[in-house]
Amino acid sequence: MLSRRRSLGLLLGSGSSLVLGGCALDGWSGTVGAATQPLNERVEALLQRRGTVPEFDRRQVQPEALLINSFNGTPRIEPASYRLAVAGAVQRPLRLDLAALAALPQRECVIRHVCVEGWAAIVAWSGPRLADVLALAGPSPLAGYLAIRSADQYFETWDLASALHPQTLLATHMNGAPLAAGNGAPVRLASPIKLGYKQSKWVTGLELMSRLGERRGTWEDQGYEWFAGL
């Protein structure tokens, strides 16, 4: 089976160098990236529609390979007072505690977490599917994007199709144990279809939107690729 990057090369031929990643953007590549980004996103979205991503065996988990980083330090969140706000273009705004999230169907995905910095780790994430959480709020038919806010002030936006992917989780556990604070406790995003910087930790707010605003993401606003699909 062809890899996603190989497929992109075949689709775009000699122009594949224009499919820019999310790092080392100088002035020229930033200009080219702005011009080609709509094409990148359409091609990546098309490739993503292949359905679920093959998962790994639990025995292949690499706990030592998952590096811990943060945007603004590691926030300490009291589990008893935690609430996940779901708002925006929805019929029923919500504030969900951890018990409400645990009451939803739980899914484990043993997937590769890929960082734009060049490292990767196989991790077993588990928790409710993001799609199930959003369904509780009743998304508007006009909703096409999702903003994600975190306790450390990290900010992200996703296309709604990626958010609704069956392997995109609001993870509360990692490798069979509750999330540690450094890994995003009590709730973080986990998905095999996005690069690591899209997978927000310490998630506290979800907002469905009909269009993207000026802010696209903490790193995207500094030149990183917005779609960042795998």
CA Rg, the chain, in Å?
A: 17
Per-residue pLDDT of the chain (230 residues; tens, 9 = 90+): 334 443 333 333 333 322 333 333 333 334 334 444 554 555 555 555 558 999 999 999 999 999 998 788 999 999 999 999 999 999 999 999 999 999 999 999 999 999 999 999 999 999 999 999 999 999 999 999 999 999 999 999 999 999 999 999 999 999 999 999 999 999 999 999 999 999 999 999 999 999 999 999 999 999 999 999 98
CATH topology of domain 55-222: Sulfite Oxidase; Chain A, domain 2 (3.90.420)
Residue 224 backbone dihedrals phi, psi, to 5 degrees: -70, 155
| Residue 11 near residue 203, CB atoms below 8 Å | no
Spatial distance between the Cα atoms of 116 and 97, rounded to a whole number of angstroms: 32
Spatial distance between the Cα atoms of 114 and 124, rounded to a whole number of angstroms: 14
pTM: 0.81
Spatial distance between the Cα atoms of 223 and 227, rounded to a whole number of angstroms: 12
Residue-range domain boundaries for the chain:
1-50, 55-222
Spatial distance between the Cα atoms of 149 and 139, rounded to a whole number of angstroms: 18
| Residue 200 near residue 189, CB atoms below 8 Å | yes
